[in-house]
Amino acid sequence: MSIVSISLDDKILKGLDKLQNELGFSGRSEVIRAGLRTLLSEEREKAKLSGTVEGVFMVVNQEKHNETVADIRHQFNDVIKTEIHNHLDTNRCLHIFVVKGDSLRLKEFMKVFLTSRKVEYTKLFLA
């Protein structure tokens, strides 16, 4: 088995330790492997998308990064049918995008959010 070294900030490390304890993983590496398996599985499912796709795409971000979310949203108005913006707490926001469009365009839309360091969480739900 290969060894990979990664850097994690304190907040992520605390979350990792919490997951390890709450879910009963034997160590941090097991938690990371499980998370990577989930991400790989989700990406395989997205890769299978073709034709016109409909669904809901959720984004959670710090409120200070709403301008970044708005900039991305404006780049993809052609596939966004509706957006709901809600404040989760004092400094985090939830954006719910109802989307419909060509699968390649939607994959591009999701990739921009997934790879942005200003976004905490993304999730696609297909209709």
Domain segments of the chain as ranges: 10-46, 51-126
What pLDDT does residue 115 have?
Answer: 92
Whole-number mean pLDDT of the chain?
Answer: 94
Four-residue CA torsion sign, 115, 66, 62, 107: negative
The CATH code that applies to domain 51-126 is: 3.30.70.1150
What pLDDT does residue 18 have?
Answer: 94
Q: Locate 6 and state its tokens.
A: 């990664």
Half-sphere exposure at residue 42, Cβ-oriented, CA atoms within 13 angstroms: 15
Over residues 51-72, the mean pLDDT reads 96
At residue 66, does pLDDT exceed 90? yes
Q: What own/partner pairs with CB < 8 Å and gap ≥ 24 does 98-102 have?
A: 98/55, 98/56, 99/53, 99/54, 99/55, 99/56, 99/57, 100/52, 100/53, 100/54, 100/55, 101/52, 101/53, 102/51, 102/52, 102/53
**pTM exceeding 0.85:** no
- 10-46 folds as Arc Repressor Mutant (1.10.1220)
86 pLDDT tier (thresholds 50, 70, 90)? very high
